[in-house]
Amino acid sequence: MRELNEILSLIDGYIGSSVWFPYALLGTGLFFTIYLGFPQIRYFKFAFKVVKGKFDKKGDEGDTSHFQALTTALSGTVGTGNIAGVALAVHIGGPAALFWMLMTAAVGMCTKFVEVTLSHKYREKAADGTMAGGPMYYMKNKLNMKWLGVIFAIATVLSSFGTGSLPQINSIAASMNSVFGLNQMLVGGVLAIMLGFVIIGGIQRIAAVTEKLVPTMAILYFIGAFAVIFSNLGNIVPSFVSIFAEIFSGSAATGGFLGGTISLAFNKGVGRGLFSNEAGQGSAPIAHASAKGHEPVSEGMVAILEPFIDTIVICTITGLVLLSSGVWNQKHQNNFDYTDIYILDSTVDFDSREGRLEVVDHIESKSTAKLYSGDMQVKDGVIQSDIVFIHARSEAEDVLIQQDGSNFTGTIEINTGKPVGEHSYSGKSLVHSAPLTTIAFTKGFFGDFGKYIVVFGLLLFAFSTAISWSYYGDRAMTFIWGSKSVVYYRVVYVVAFFFAAFTDTTIIWTLSAITIAVMTIPNLIGILALHKDMKATVKTFWKGFKEEWPDEKTPE
């Protein structure tokens, strides 16, 4: 697993986690924001009227309503990114990472508007009679670049696993195991069967399920979150200050948190923001292309609401829960993931900011100078050697080493910071992802009962995401190989969903980061190439709208 994660991390380092990727993402959104005159602000209120169906016409082609398309797209974005992704961003980049998540959403609202409008405009009717759309169709039908559409479609299929299937069930199973002690393989098997029953019905059944799931899971999650926030009201103002105070300085070390650089906060904030709302990734346009409508711009307006609800509202609430409760920089008893373990020599300086950030550099694979190599002596599970044991970006305490369920005594070889052999490790350290959010939810009015809200909230959030992404994948398969290929895709999707329930968490997140980037790049190229077409489409829409609805006040 370690070798596989290292390979995936190397690949991700050249794309999603590279320096240029967040700039390309934010730059595209900022360009369209200025070019189209801040549509995410001007059209925001108008979008609610469209969602309600005020301007619908009888006979509009499509498979779902505006609201169903919105909830399907939201169910595809509101998932582990909101619960586990926010916690991971704060864990790595500190509170400042939340600021960059919000900035990603602010410009992402415009990016969603553009990509959904274009995808709805150039959609097609598939051989089975359903609507098929998405970036691959405007690449083929307008740009005459079917080859780019094929690249995007292949990336979509891969991303349906890396974004929609694998990390979702992994987070569900890990939470169910930590809270209820349920076997992760059992959880994966039960939910895989349920997933199969839902997605076999196609977009109509998917939309029918998601329009009920999304409001239910939002209400449940908000109740638990505000129970924590109201219990820690005195920490709300300091929490907001910490988000904005260290944007350009990097997050300072506090508690078990070693500190974070500006680049870490920026890269992880933007990366987790994209994972949360998927603006620019090109996924949501596939869901919106199924909506009944005769004007693509109106459906694009509906999409403006997604990043606002998903990131600006839900992720901010999650962030405030983590920061106000104080759990994000506290060490907690947990079982260690092997990929999060780094063993350094005893010369590491934890008394200075430079020394702590040097450790962070080691974790980010920028240096191996102080990674320990040699033998580590262990007696009755306790380390006897003079080394520094790092887990989850913190100096681990009370480390216990076991083998086959018993405390280990003997020698463990350490190769460039990594222990060799089949041993289990536990102790006190920082935690991240869904387990961190679960702990935070116990710091409110509900006490320990709060963890059940996270578990069931995550179950609904993540499961609905897996449902929606199965639809994105089958539309991509339809584009490449036709409608008959979808059944084979669905079988593989459900099987992979099962196996991901008991696969290492770190590897899952690294894989998802890669597939997001591979899908995003061709989509950004496509919408930038069609910027003039987009502006002309918006202008034509408002001209026709004023003629048809002369008494309706417009934001134009």
Give the domain CATH number at 516: 1.20.1740.10
Domain boundary among 366, 396, 429: 429
Give the model's pLDDT for residue 320.
Answer: 94
Are 318 and 251 within one domain?
yes
Are 325 and 374 within one domain?
no
Mean pLDDT of 122-135: 85
Task: Give the largest Cα separation in the chain, rounded.
Answer: 83
Inter-residue contact 358 to 21 (CB < 8 Å): no
Strand ranges in 324-445 using DSSP code E only, listed in sequence order = 332-335, 341-345, 374-379, 382-383, 387-391, 394-395, 397-403, 406-407, 410-415, 418-419, 424-429
Are 182 and 110 within one domain?
yes
Are 191 and 282 within one domain?
yes
Number of domains in the chain: 2
Q: CA of 503: how far to CAs of 79, 158, 171, 337, 443, in Å?
A: 18, 17, 10, 11, 29
Are 363 and 453 within one domain?
no
Flag the least confident range among 3-7, 213-217, 396-400.
3-7
Give the model's pLDDT for residue 43.
Answer: 94
Residue 60 lies in a domain: no
Among 404, 427, 209, 443, which Cα is nearest to 325's?
443
Q: Give the pLDDT confidence of 152-210 residue by residue, as tens digits.
A: 999 899 888 877 788 778 878 877 887 788 899 999 999 999 999 888 877 778 888 88
Residue 555 lies in a domain: no
Among 243, 506, 235, which Cα is nearest to 393's?
506
Are 444 and 414 within one domain?
no
Inter-residue contact 55 to 49 (CB < 8 Å): yes
Dihedrals phi, psi of 398, to nearest 5 degrees: 50, 45
Q: Give the pLDDT confidence of 418-449 residue by residue, as tens digits.
A: 999 999 999 999 998 878 998 999 999 999 99
Are 378 and 298 within one domain?
no
Domain boundary among 407, 429, 451: 429
Domain boundary among 429, 455, 474: 429
Residue at token pair 């219990």:
231
Residue 346 lies in a domain: yes
Residue 51 lies in a domain: no
Residues 6+ apart with CB under 8 A from 313: none
Are 241 and 273 within one domain?
yes
Q: Which helix (H) or strand (E) holds 124?
A: strand 124-125
Are 364 and 262 within one domain?
no
Mean pLDDT of 518-535: 93
Residue 54 lies in a domain: no
Residue 556 scores a pLDDT above 70: no
Are 199 and 265 within one domain?
yes
Are 325 and 340 within one domain?
no
User: Which domain does 127 fall in, by range?
Assistant: 2-33+66-330+440-547
Inter-residue contact 468 to 217 (CB < 8 Å): no
CA angle 515, 521, 524 (to 5 degrees): 135
Are 121 and 188 within one domain?
yes
- The DSSP bridge partners found for residue 394 are 391
The model's confidence at residue 493, banded by pLDDT at 50, 70 and 90, is: very high
